[in-house]
Structure 1
């Protein structure tokens, strides 16, 4: 049974422009349970992560101002969200979910978070709909408290994982790999350990060929003991913000390539959903559901 963290949406209403992208977090687990990919008991509500673990990654001043609604107006605008206590509580729960998934994956082989992938959050600021960096916090947790010596972060969201790259710039135990739209957000990229910027319009064949050529060699070179996979579906041709041209089938093959390698090498892996902004919410949910279907096929 796949362990799956699911933090239900907070009650505080968001402005209209923010509601649509959040629907997938409700619809995805419903779809997976209804079709039988997941039994309902595989879903667990994450426990909010204690502050001491958050402060191993994020600066205390920033975190406390975030908690207490004391961000400046420019800082709040950079996150893309209007501040609310409920928003911060959900973010802290998502962090807890990714850390719990990391602990579980050491025994189950894989665990997934129906959220997360908040890779634009830096140590002392949030941006791009990311307040706190869940995979970075979980990677630091494994390094400091679980005896893991080497971590690989595979970021296949269409946007570069700039916050993650900056957070681990001087940490040799974490290898950051980002394959993203070269002309997409953020305008100013950070330097990952390996960046593969893609031209607009990259299709299934070109994308999968590059990934298949890169990732096996990267595993050999980095020798990770644990993998975090950010499986954004904003790489789809239907995505409003992505500018790449992958089909849903190409996106599914991408997930299979990553997850089969982890399975074959017996590498525990945590999967977080990342971005997805297609016009039809059904396109987003179906592409994300494929990630869970592939994981269930391999580890189920």
Structure 2
């Protein structure tokens, strides 16, 4: 049994005293977003191919299509230091007080020259808000059957190390919150981002409560061969894989998962960097060479992939939360919005609040 001073007891205390879980009225749709998600500081963010305003553009598309009223969106709290300590050791969080460390994680070298107070406000604060969104998404998924954090999915960050534009391990944090607050004992991570989810692989390497299904391009970043050993189901797809082949692999993987594990919660890391032409869904030194080094998945293929995963959860009666993760083209926001619209049309999610219908919304 854990003593009052044991690491597990301290983790539990932090989770139970957190403000990241809060009651949400039924008039709100379980779509979580804050304008604070978007990263902008002096144009430096444009030196990384990631569309750092992607999250807001997704909501703008949903609002303009009349699918989501901005008044129905849920704003999360920022993850505090105590929340982050649920997974991250203090030494790692202290390292983020060094702008050079953050620059390496974000892969934007000029960030190293900025005062850390600016880096905290303009880069790490948006990430901490997204962590809060991922944590809250688990609670809402258990209450409503599904939830979407229009952000999050920082799957390259483990407890001790960030990388690949991922400074905080939101997937690991939200799962530990679910263990304690939601009394969940079995979680399945379905990670279909183009890149290997080495962060959560490391964090749950010896935790039998978590089943990891990881579908990724084995030829690209991060190439973490040690972490790959900790997947329960590893589906490696090669560069040049086409939509039909990819969707067949997803179908087969979900069938194996259906027979292998009975989760109470699915954490779905739905990266769109599998799209044909994504500048980081490929071998980096071949990023400017058309049709070499990346997957060749169409926008419709992404939409069908998401539908398959949500249908999997619906058929098994499992709560599911979706994180948007990677996706580095300007077109990714439109594809994600179209996928959410498709999930609504297929009645896999309900985008209407209990008070009124979704309108055109407004400025997000």
Q: Using a 3 Å threshold, how does the CA distance of structure 1 residues 205 and 74 change in structure 2: closer, same or farther?
A: same
State the distance in 1 between where 2:215 and 2:243 align: 14
Please list, as runs of the form range in 1=range in 2, the aligned pairs for 1:194-205 lying within 5 A after superposition.
194-205=233-244
Aligned residue number for residue 53 of structure 1 = 83
Is 2:274 the counterpart of 1:235? yes
Aligned residue number for residue 356 of structure 2 = none
State the distance in 2 between where 1:284 and 1:10 align: 16
Deviation of 1:11 (Å): 5.6
Is 2:196 the counterpart of 1:146? no
* Unpaired runs of at least 5, structure 2: 1-27, 282-293, 351-364
Please list, as runs of the form range in 1=range in 2, the aligned pairs for 1:213-228 lying within 5 A after superposition.
213-228=252-267
Q: Using a 3 Å threshold, how does the CA distance of structure 1 residues 10 and 74 change in structure 2: closer, same or farther?
A: closer
Aligned residue number for residue 215 of structure 2 = 179
TM (normalized to structure 1)?
Answer: 0.92
Is 2:340 the counterpart of 1:289? no
Q: Tell me, what secondary structure is at the counterpart of 1:21? A: coil
Q: Using a 3 Å threshold, how does the CA distance of structure 1 residues 77 and 11 change in structure 2: closer, same or farther?
A: closer
Count matched residues.
294
State the distance in 2 between where 1:160 and 1:37 align: 32
State the distance in 1 between where 2:48 and 2:342 align: 29
Deviation of 1:42 (Å): 2.4
Choose from 158, 162, 165 the match for 1:129: 165
State the distance in 2 between where 1:265 and 1:285 align: 29
Aligned residue number for residue 224 of structure 2 = 188
Aligned residue number for residue 155 of structure 1 = 191
Q: Tell me, what secondary structure is at the counterpart of 2:318? A: coil
Whether the 8 Å CA contact 2:157–2:166 is kept in 1: the answer is yes
Q: Using a 3 Å threshold, how does the CA distance of structure 1 residues 52 and 43 change in structure 2: closer, same or farther?
A: same
Aligned residue number for residue 270 of structure 1 = 321
Is 2:75 the counterpart of 1:63? no
Aligned residue number for residue 25 of structure 1 = 55
Q: Using a 3 Å threshold, how does the CA distance of structure 1 residues 17 and 75 change in structure 2: closer, same or farther?
A: closer
**Deviation per CA, 1:175-219, whole angstroms, max 9, x where unpaired?**
111100110111333222222111111111111111111113203
Q: Using a 3 Å threshold, how does the CA distance of structure 1 residues 188 and 11 change in structure 2: closer, same or farther?
A: closer
Deviation of 1:118 (Å): 0.3
Q: CA RMSD in A?
A: 1.8
Is 2:205 the counterpart of 1:169? yes
Whether the 8 Å CA contact 2:193–2:325 is kept in 1: the answer is yes
Choose from 80, 104, 120 the match for 2:107: 80
Deviation of 1:23 (Å): 2.4
Whether the 8 Å CA contact 1:2–1:296 is kept in 2: the answer is no
Aligned residue number for residue 127 of structure 2 = 91
Whether the 8 Å CA contact 1:255–1:294 is kept in 2: the answer is no
* Unpaired runs of at least 5, structure 1: none
Is 2:33 the counterpart of 1:6? yes
Q: Tell me, what secondary structure is at the counterpart of 2:276? A: coil
TM (normalized to structure 2)?
Answer: 0.76
Q: Using a 3 Å threshold, how does the CA distance of structure 1 residues 24 and 76 change in structure 2: closer, same or farther?
A: closer
State the distance in 2 between where 1:214 and 1:154 align: 10
Deviation of 1:220 (Å): 2.7
Q: Tell me, what secondary structure is at the counterpart of 1:112? A: strand
Deviation of 1:172 (Å): 0.8
State the distance in 2 between where 1:74 and 1:37 align: 40
Moved more, 137-146 or 11-20: 11-20
Is 2:79 the counterpart of 1:40? no
Deviation of 1:75 (Å): 6.3
